[in-house]
Amino acid sequence: MLFKHPELLWALLLLLIPIFIHLFQLRRFKKTPFTNVKILKKVVAESRKSNSLKKWLLLFTRLLLLTALIIAFAQPFIPGKSALKSNEIVIYLDNSLSMQAKMGTATLLENMVQGILKSVPEENIFTLFTNDKIFREVRIGDIKNDLLALPYSNNQLQLKEINLKAKTLFSEAVGAQKDLVLISDFQKRIGPSSTDSLPDINRHLVKMTPENLVNISIDTVFINSISSENLDLKSILSTNAELDNTPVSLYNGEKLIAKTSVTFNKNKKGEVIFTIPANELINGEILISDSGLNYDNQLYFNLAKQDKIKVLSVGDADSDFLRRIYDKEVFQYSNLSLKSLNYSLLESQNLIILNELNAVPIALQNALQAFKNAGGSLAVIPSGQANMENYNSFLMGLSNTMLISSVMEERKISQIAFAHPLYKNVFEKEVTNFQYPSVNSFYSIKSAKPKILSYQSGDPFLVGEDGTYLFTAPISKENSNILNSPLIVPTLYNMGMASLKIPRIYEMIGSKTSVDIPVNLTKDRILKVSQKDFEFIPFQQSFTNKTTLTFDDYPEISGIYNITDEGKIIKNISFNFPREESQLHYMDLDELNASSKNNNISALFQNIENDNSINELWKWFIILALAFIFIEVLIQKFLK
């Protein structure tokens, strides 16, 4: 027990005064002669004994009365475990997509919000943060409406990020009681338990998960095959339970164009295929209905006739292999000799290939440098009789690369950089036993560009990145048999495809995405992206032959968006939420270090409130003082 005003306890010394008065009280007795006192002696003795007991009882009662009053004025109290410390509370409320799961008649997030509104005392000041918002030093009444309207976020913070963010929201006060409350369903994807240490902060975990939740997710959709007339779309779905056939619908805008059902295998995966007309504009939506999460019940995509990628080869060497690789369905290929080349054509191309030129004229070097600065892609295939001095002046300014010497020696091309972006999704596995192509002669080079293909000796055959590529040997039939190798097709084809980033049929919200739009904007024109009443301007970079749009923080809502130029729709682009949270794999709280682990918000905040509370006792001492007054009255009345 502690006292708010302990200095008043010195008044207890005043209790000595009535004690001294009682012990040393002197009374003068008046002598009165009486003829026969023998009979009265016994009465006088008994009267004095009774009167002495009464005085002692009154003394103790009054001493206790004064003691109770003095202690009451000193205001005694019993503090909670942390009541004498300054207290700080930071709450993390998980508003990720998995919190859409139903629990009773409401979602997990709605239940958690109601728990916070009912449990946090109105006078308490605290800080609350979600996956994308922070409410600093507020009272519950200040953010009630914000919590009730809190949207779901695709930005799921990792456990390590939650701890680091929470640490910045606490003050640096030494000795303060710091409580961090994590309210979440604790999916396993938030991170390993080895990253959850947070010293000097009491961490309380509140886990709420739905029971027996059955969820079906549309994981992805892609073009499975395409012909001149039809296109097959394949969609992959997954579930977390054993299910029978589930209906799947395909819409073009608001029009239902196909409907089928999916059957799940023992791995709880299923697939459906929709056959639709090729080269038809489709603003598609694949739709299912289930009682689980809502965000993964639809997947948006769009199909449109793609703009052809412009590829130009310059040189007199045989270019038939390039014409076969760059087919008319996807590319607009052309070949010009150096003499007939019109330099004004260069800026409109996406990929330019210098096909075994003996030398690169200075005017062409300057034009190609401007082409590269404007975002174009360039591949250089040197001639066997290349003017090395001329090439080096060109390559050094272009990519800090130079030819060192010509090597007249046969070499096999046996090393592939499978991780290079040029070979993304080309190989199912790292192939080591294919038929190696070879060259009869090559140039040794010095370059900082990464190797893409290399000889057995480790010398590079092809280097490049970011739209600049250099072969170190002629690839014509006179010097190499690589044109007969299947390796040349994906190599050159992907150079062309990478020169213009054609939008995929859908993009993921939250991931950085770049899309090339074949539009040349003037200085004051910008492209806008809109959906219904929502409109924003993405980061964009304009080049002579295209405009690159970069999406990062926006959009935040899934759907099909219009890309407009001065109000005119020039292309559509679809965005969907990532599907990782649909897996519904939850952590075991026993794996995490915490001061407490709970499944009830109200009980947790009640415990925190008790630890921070002060039990005041002065009222009880006032009641005790009144009781002693009542006892004194009884003594005075009934004890003679």
Backbone angles phi, psi at 612, to 5 degrees: -100, 0
Are the beta carbons of 216 and 292 closer than 8 angstroms?
A: yes
Strand ordering across the sheet containing 202-207: 134-138, 126-129, 87-93, 177-184, 202-207, 596-598
CA angle 75, 81, 87 (to 5 degrees): 90
For the stretch 425-441, pLDDT in tens is 777 667 666 678 899 99
Ramachandran class of 135: left when φ > 0, alpha when ψ lies in -120 to 50, beta otherwise: beta
State the pLDDT at residue 362: 92
For the stretch 18-54, pLDDT in tens is 777 776 654 444 565 655 555 555 555 555 556 677 7
Strand 559-565 to 568-576 pairing: antiparallel
Are the beta carbons of 496 and 471 closer than 8 angstroms?
A: no
> Is the pLDDT assigned to residue 16 strictly greater than 80?
no
Same topology, domains 87-212+584-612 and 507-576? Answer is no
Provide the Cα torsion 556, 560, 561, 562; round to 10°: 180
For the stretch 89-148, pLDDT in tens is 888 998 888 888 887 788 889 888 988 888 888 888 889 999 888 998 888 888 899 989
Backbone angles phi, psi at 112, to 5 degrees: -70, -40
Q: Does domain 507-576 have CATH number 3.30.300?
A: no
Are the beta carbons of 413 and 437 closer than 8 angstroms?
A: yes
The residue with greater pLDDT, 531 or 605, is 531
For the stretch 74-88, pLDDT in tens is 776 565 555 445 678
Element (H, E) at 45: helix 38-73
Q: Which CATH superfamily is domain 87-212+584-612 in?
A: von Willebrand factor, type A domain (3.40.50.410)
Domain 216-305, CATH: 2.60.40.10
* Whole-Å CA distances, 461 to 47, 469, 475, 479: 128, 11, 10, 13
Domain 309-499, CATH: 3.40.50.880
The rounded distance, in Å, linking the Cα atoms of 219 and 225 is 19
Q: Summarize the confidence of residues 248-271 as an average pLDDT.
A: 90
Element (H, E) at 61: helix 38-73
DSSP symbols for 248-269: EEEEETTEEEEEEEE---TTSE
Give the residue extent of every domain in the chain: 2-26+45-80+616-638, 87-212+584-612, 216-305, 309-499, 507-576
Backbone angles phi, psi at 373, to 5 degrees: -65, -25
| First-residue to last-residue Cα distance in the chain | 39
For the stretch 538-575, pLDDT in tens is 898 887 778 888 898 888 889 999 988 888 888 889 99
Helix, strand and coil in the chain, % to nearest 5: 30, 35, 40
Q: Summarize the confidence of residues 606-623 as an average pLDDT.
A: 68
Strand ordering across the sheet containing 513-517: 513-517, 547-551, 539-542
Are the beta carbons of 316 and 338 closer than 8 angstroms?
A: yes
